[in-house]
Amino acid sequence: MTEHPELTEDIIPAFQQGDPQAFNSFFRLYYRPLCFFAAQLMGNMAEAEDIVKDSYVKLWNRHRDFDHPKSIKGFLYTTTRNACLNYLRHLKVKDHFQEEMRYLDDQQGDELVLQQMIRTELLQSIYQEIEKLPEKRQQVFRMVYFEGLKNEEIAEKMGISVFTVKEHKARALAQLRLRFSDQQLMILLTLGGSALLMKA
């Protein structure tokens, strides 16, 4: 069984009737990925979180309109994406954002958004796997790849040897490689601290 399987159609009747538990199931499943997705467009996590929360309010106001979990997921991503673009237009932000908005508005832009959705969900899966690591191994991994600390700095902070730090780092990567390819992991490692945006 996967960590967060796609919700089945069985949940839809309760969702349509306004059941808070059904709504919370969709909130828990998509909130963090949506925040990271919005932050990629916005460049600001706080604003991204506000937009995602507003998307969920809109979803709740239209809960009777959905007959399948996939349509709810599509609505959340589309609503979030449109809200991000509207926000950026309103601010008349820097040229590179304006170029991105024009790109996202055409047919190719839809493909870009799809690619960002896929990448966001991949990062979510990797982050969930990181959370399964033993506590110290996870701590070392975060310090190396999210905080950018050197082995010596980590050893001093944790009160362990540099050799132990290297061992934790190697074992963490080995465990992640059991589930993900080097190419997939590279997405996480190149983003570095950005992946922290997915943290609840």
How many angstroms from the chain centroid is the CA of residue 150? Answer: 26
CATH number at residue 141: 1.10.10
**pLDDT greater than 70 at residue 65:** yes
Mean pLDDT of 169-175: 88
18 with 84, same domain: the answer is yes
What crossing angle do the helices spanning 107-130 and 20-42 adopt, rounded to 10°?
A: 110
> Is it the case that residue 54 has pLDDT exceeding 90?
yes
Q: What is the pLDDT of residue 45?
A: 85
pLDDT averaged over every residue in the chain:
78
Q: Are both 107 and 14 inside the same structural domain?
A: yes
Domain identity same for 156 and 120: no
Residues 67, 139 within the same domain: no
Last residue of a domain, one of 86, 113, 131: 131
pLDDT at 199: 40
Give yes or no: residues 75 and 148 share one domain: no
> Same structural domain for residues 31 and 59?
yes
Cβ contacts of 30 within 8 Å, gap of 6 or more: 73, 76
| Tens-place pLDDT, residues 109-164 | 556 666 667 777 777 777 788 888 899 898 898 888 777 788 999 999 999 999 99
Q: How many domains does the chain have?
A: 2
Q: What is the mean pLDDT of residues 51-56?
A: 94
Whole-angstrom distance, CA of residue 133 vs CA of residue 128 = 9
Q: Using one digit for the tens of pLDDT, what is the confidence trace for 71-100?
A: 898 899 989 988 988 887 776 555 555 555
**29 and 117 share a domain?**
yes
Domain carrying residue 121: 1-131
Residues 126 and 145 in one domain: no
